Structure 1
Amino acid sequence: MNVTPDHRDDVYQTGLRATNRALTRRQALLGGAAVAMSAALAACGSSNSSGTTSAGETAGAAASPSRGGRIRAAFAGGGAQETLDPHRANLFLEGSRSKMIFEKLADYGDDMAAVPRLAEEWSHNDELTEWTVKLRQATFHDGSPVTADDVLYSYARIVDPDEGFRARANLEMLDIAKSAAVDERTVRLVLSRPYAEFPNSMAAFGAFIVPSGAEEFADPIGSGPFRFEEWTPGSSLGLVSFDDYWEGRPYIDELEYLITNEETARINALLGGQVEYAHDISPASGQSHQDRDGVIFINLPNSGMNGFVMKVDRAPFDDPDVRRALFLLTNRQELVDAAIGGAGTIGNDLFGQGYEYYADHIPQRELDLDEATRLIEKAGASGAEITIDTADVGTGMVASASVFADQMRAAGLNVTVNNRDGGTYWSDILTEGHLATFRSGGMPIESHISQRLLSTSSTNATRWQRPEFDARYQEAISTADAGIRAEIYHELQETLHEEGGLAVWGFADWIVATGSKVHGVQPSPANSLDWARFDKVWVA
């Protein structure tokens, strides 16, 4: 599965109150099995009150970290064309491997707020156009220190307009020509405009620091917790622990990534003892193997957002009443149960639940079919022909379209489902159609707004274009006071909740599985610092 900032990066609340309408045929067929699957997942290993399982809790919480041993980790991969160049990383496999070999100045915590990594600290001028970053004492695998020149080289490489590297969009405001090293461990980064959220750019997927002059990555040198040993593209990557890692030597001696594209093959490799860690496991596998000895299933809450995008610039969704009707007719719990096997929580039509700046003061929207039907009639849209575009490009995408079609029909709409070509789906829905299934991995709420909801955003699938909205966003990122920024972000989310074009029905847990001797795997959301991180994991 690809990790992109737009959607796939990428895969909380209580259930909705019971609806007073009769179950549809699809609910009757899917609902019971989905709820049973969700309960089975919660029973996998031990779990806390939220149903989230952590390796520490399930595989001997009292066990102290021990050193030595090897972990073999199975991920889906990208074939023989995959790369170890961290600036070209795009897959989840490549994201995990890159952060084990390399480091960024910052990374995302579980709430998608930037936390320092190679940067020991940072500060900015009053205008938010200059950021001074003090580097911690860290060493590359060849023994050379990480310096300000390495940062400048890495960022200059990333923003090269001829390359199209992954993090270029996150660093597009950086003026490399004016940026400079203050001393060996201090770098001043000059921006072309005020940007209070620049730490998000330092933490962006792919914004890794490489040695100055590095161009070839077949035998990569980084400053991360593991050193390169051997690599067979499309098959495996072998790493060994780095004794001089700034945060301390990893507990394990060896880490091996194995590419296993089929999910069933990954779980079978774990069951057969060929690997100790299997990434991206389905709820069905969790249910099937919940009673197997020697296997622990770990939920990673809030790893993916699921929803529908309505194009607000074309009928019938150019009418705010029709958009509000869709918000109200959405049975979120049914979608969570049927589309993602109950492995997740319902949404409230906003991105970023649990993240920094999330507007959790907005009451949970509940199902109100009568009001939805009234709004549709008021808008003159009863019986309107609506097509839901979807594609098999992520867990729950096609299933959610089928379930939602039934929910919309119950409110008097005439709905069909159109299965598009998965290879072009994400680019197609940016300009085509009226309503489409959508999903996203983790990113800061500010990044979600800037990349998807401004008039100039390149991935604005809802076609939301409001000059006053754009102006308020610019106010937020030009304001040094975090409290004022939070107020503005909340205001923007209130507007989107009332009349936006993104209907967020749920947040999916991802599931990983480990052998029972593996400890320390954290239940952190995808794309965060502690997701798929092996330097703090041990075998006992």
Structure 2
Amino acid sequence: MTQHAHLPGPHRRGLLTAAGGLAAGLGALALTGCSGTETPRAGAGDGGGSGSGDGKPRRGGRLRAAFAGGGAGETLDPHLSNLFADAARAKALFDKLADYGPDLAARPRLAAAWEPNARLDRWKVTLREAAFHDGKPVTAADVLYSYRRIADPKQAFRARASLEPIDLSASRAPAPRTVEFVLKRPTAEFPNVLAAFGAYIVPAASGPVDFDKNPVGSGPFRFVSFAPGRSAVFRRNDAYWDGPPHLDELEIVVANEESARVNALLGGQIEYAHELNPATARAHEDKGRIGIVRLRNSAMQAFAMKTDRPPFDDPRVREAFFLIADREELVAGALSGAGEIGNDLFGKGYEYYAGELPQRAQDLGRARALLKKAGAEGLRVTLDTSPVAAGFTEAATVFRDQAAKAGVTITVRTGSKDSYWKDILDSGTLCSYRSGAMPIESHISQRLLTDSTTNATKWHHKDFDDLYQQAQSTGDPVRRAAVYTRMQRRLHAEGGFLIWGFADWILGTSLKVKGVAPDAPANTLDWARFDTVWLA
């Protein structure tokens, strides 16, 4: 299955471009306008809204959470999760072997521990004692069944590409709670595979399963009802291995328009509104009616330069474009200030991030000199963009005006929301780009290797590929980090991603909602994790 450049997984409309369109219901509501260490249970703090309460979790109540959805074609099959709403529903019902912490390092979930052999091409995973909703234990056979189902080449399951390093025909279950994964090559970051988006564990089955009518998982909530494009209702799983949720019930409702989500929140028809824009957050923050939660560093914002074709096949032109960017102005103009500047490297604040590299600043004089040396004075370039993602068209306009000050003429070309990610993967020379949270290793492997399927910058360098394999063959984390730093130094100097900022992801909550993790980028363990939330 092909992965696409804006997300940590392979689907064009994926998570960070959650579908727009008309509000599809809000249910029945009427809108008014590492070798595995235990992970501490999250959400025990007093996150979320700023209402009254002593900060201690309380049991009971139903929380209604509104997300943009996918319409009548939605499903509860966790292996088909693509949108934020899909992910929230899957997280309520199912578990993965691992998930990502705030720094995007893998944390154990159904896996109690993992241990590699000396060559890093075989990994022993020990499962914790956990049960499915029907009372049956989660076993190694269920894990292998789930992964083989995901890897089926006849299906379009999201995590299929992420599981590619595993030789599933050779992997086996020597004991009920032990899985021995045989890999095709040394993979030091194998826990990232276990945490891959959509790699949920389902019970082994001998035939087709109707997930929409009888989904059985091991997650914190049990299935009650599901109306695609409208509402899904779940109730507390008192036998959950990580402790029962505080809520009695969770309802995930669909409202594609941001205004519908905000109005429902203000009107008391929901308690949690996903994906608010910065202007909305500013209008309501500190006004005492709703709570605003900002998830920092949730979305990388960038321009992608094709390094295999003029003018960006010349590294001097790429460096000039790095120096043209006024990052503070881009964050202010395109993100309304809801974010922080970037330094042409992915994963600011994540594990392995090369934060010691000097912050790049605008230098129009140096940019002009580099363009002159490259014979690119008076350069004209087309910048492809689209309203497919918030801030894209605004950033394109801001950067166009910045480039003009260096003598570069940029023509902004606005493409289709429906086909943008496919269109810009191979065509054009310069485009707007963004990505959700994922490990730095995954960003490299999916986007920057010669055979990466979503190599939007066409960064093809065998010596860079060799460094990645060296990192994956290095068991010592300090030495491995040093290799990743070498790779990032090169990308910072001459790569194809002009990463100008990192956007906040913004949520709205009722003042009575507590326990929402404030430091959980989208796609991580504590994002949209409702088992740790309570109503004060």
Could you state the TM-score of these two structures normalised by the residue count of structure 1? Answer: 0.90
1:377 corresponds in structure 2 to 372
Q: What is the match of residue 490 of structure 1?
A: 485
Distance (whole Å) between structure 2 residues aligned to residue 248 and residue 419 of structure 1 = 49
Instruction: Write out per-residue CA displacement over residues 320-356 of structure 1, whole angstroms, 9 at most, x where no aligned residue.
Output: 1110011111000111011011100000000000111
Instruction: Look up the match of 1:25.
Output: none
Matched ranges for 1:246-265 at <5 A: 246-265=241-260
Alpha-carbon distance change, 9 to 528 in structure 1, aligned in 2, over 3 angstroms: farther
SS of residue in 2 equivalent to 1:171: coil
1:356 aligns with 2:351: yes
2:98 alignment partner, one of 97, 106, 130:
106
Instruction: Find the counterpart in structure 2 of residue 532 from structure 1.
Output: 528
1:217 aligned to 196, 211, 233, which one?
Answer: 211
User: 1:446 matched to which residue of 2?
Assistant: 441
Which amino acid is the alignment partner of residue 184 of structure 1?
Answer: P
Q: Is 1:123 paired with 2:115? A: yes
In angstroms, what is the RMSD of aligned CA positions? 1.5
Report the residue type matching 1:5 in the other structure.
G
Q: Deviations over 1:102-134 (max 9, x none)?
A: 000000001111000000001011111111111
The alignment partner of 1:362 has SS state of coil
2:365 alignment partner, SS class: helix
Report the CA distance between 1:216 and its aligned residue: 2.1
Of 484-493 and 370-379, more deviation after overlay is shown by 370-379
- SS across alignment from 1:170: coil
State the one-letter code of the partner of 1:374: A
Give the AA of the match of 2:238: D
**Which residue in the other structure is 2:340 paired with?**
345
Offset at residue 316 of structure 1 (A): 1.0
Distance in structure 1 (CA, Å) of the matches to 2:385 and 2:52:
43
1:467-506: per-residue Cα shift (whole Å, max 9, x none)? 1000111111111111111000110000000000100000
Contact 2:8–2:438 (Cα < 8 Å) also in 1:
no
Distance 2:458 2:178 in 1: 42
Letter of the 1:83 partner, please give it.
Answer: T
Alpha carbons 1:4, 1:90 under 8 Å: kept? no
Residue 322 (1) aligns with residue 317 (2): yes
- In 2, are the aligned partners of 1:9 and 1:440 still within 8 Å (CA)? no
Kindly report which structure 2 residues correspond to 1:400-439, keeping only aligned pairs within 5 A, or say none.
Answer: 400-439=395-434
**Residue identity in the other structure for 1:351:** F
Distance in 1 (alpha carbons) for counterparts of 2:117 and 2:53? 45
Is 2:48–2:293's contact at 8 Å kept on the other side of the alignment?
no
Distance in 1 (alpha carbons) for counterparts of 2:50 and 2:510: 11
- For residues 75-96 of structure 1, the C-alpha deviation after alignment (integer angstroms, 9 at most, x for no partner) is 0000000110000101011111
Which letter does structure 1 place at the counterpart of 2:209? E
Instruction: Name which of 62, 77, 84 aligns with 1:85.
Output: 77
Q: Does 1:234 align with 2:229?
A: yes
Higher mean Cα deviation, 423-432 or 114-123?
423-432
Q: How far apart are the structure 1 equivalents of 2:285 and 2:469?
A: 49
- Looking at structure 2, the residues matched to 468 and 4 of structure 1 have their Cα atoms a distance apart, in angstroms, of 24
Structure 1 portions without partners, runs of 5+: 12-52
Note the alpha carbon deviations across 1:35-78, whole angstroms, 9 max, x for none: xxxxxxxxxxxxxxxxxx97358345842111001100000000
SS of equivalent to 2:532: coil
Change beyond 3 A, Cα 1:130–1:334: same
Q: SS of the counterpart of 1:55?
A: coil
Give the conservation status (yes or no) of the 8 Å contact 2:382–2:412: yes
Q: What is the alpha-carbon distance in structure 2 between the residues aligned to residue 311 and residue 248 of structure 1? A: 49
2:328 aligns with one of 321, 329, 333: 333
Q: Supply the AA of the counterpart residue of 1:173.
A: P
CA 1:56–1:399: 2 relative to 1, 3 Å: closer
Structure 2 CA distance for aligned equivalents of residues 244 and 311 of structure 1: 52
Match of 1:5 in 2: 9
Change (3 A) 1:329 1:54: farther
Counterparts of 1:10 and 1:257 in 2: how far apart (Å)? 16
Contact 1:303-1:508 within 8 A present in 2 as well: yes
1:468 alignment partner, SS class: helix
Q: Is the 8 A contact 1:9 1:442 kept in 2?
A: no
Distance change in 2, residues 1:190/1:520 (3 Å): same
Corresponding letter in the other structure for 2:443: H
Is the CA contact (8 Å cut-off) linking 2:48 and 2:509 kept in structure 1? no
Q: Which residue of 1 aligns with 2:23?
A: none
Q: Residue 220 of structure 1 aligns to a residue in which SS?
A: coil
Match of 1:282 in 2: 277
Give the equivalent residue in structure 1 for 2:392: 397
What's the CA shift for 1:436?
0.3
Deviation (angstroms), 1:164: 2.3
> Is the contact made by 1:305 and 1:351 (CA closer than 8 Å) also made in structure 2?
yes
Q: Which amino acid aligns with 1:340?
A: L
Counterpart CA distance in 2 for 1:378 and 1:3 is 36
Give the Å deviation of 1:4: 5.0
Among the aligned pairs, what percent are the same residue? 55
Letter in 2 for 1:217: F
| Code of the aligned partner of 2:172 | A
Q: Distance in 1 between matches of 2:511 and 2:254?
A: 21
Pick aligned residue for 2:154 from 158, 162, 187: 162
Once residues 91 and 388 of structure 2 are traced to their aligned partners in structure 1, the CA distance between those partners, rounded to angstroms, is: 25
Contact kept? 1:80, 1:234, Cα under 8 Å: yes
Change (3 A) 1:3 1:230: farther
Mapped to 2, the partners of 1:54 and 1:332 lie a distance apart of 34
Return the offset for 1:172.
0.9
In 2, distance between residues paired with 1:290 and 1:243?
35
Partner of 1:140: 132
Deviations 1:276-299 (A, max 9, x none): 000001111112223543300010
- The aligned counterpart of 1:267 is 262
Report the 3-state secondary structure (helix = DSSP H, G, I; strand = E; otherwise coil) of the residue aligned with 2:118.
coil
Contact kept in structure 2, 1:8 and 1:441, CA below 8 Å: no
In the TM superposition, residue 9 of structure 1 has moved relative to its aligned partner by 5.9
Given that 2:323 and 2:363 are in contact with CA atoms closer than 8 Å, whether structure 1 keeps it comes out as: yes
Q: Quote the Cα distance in structure 2 between the aligned partners of 1:306 and 1:10.
A: 15
Find the counterpart in structure 2 of residue 499 from structure 1.
Answer: 494
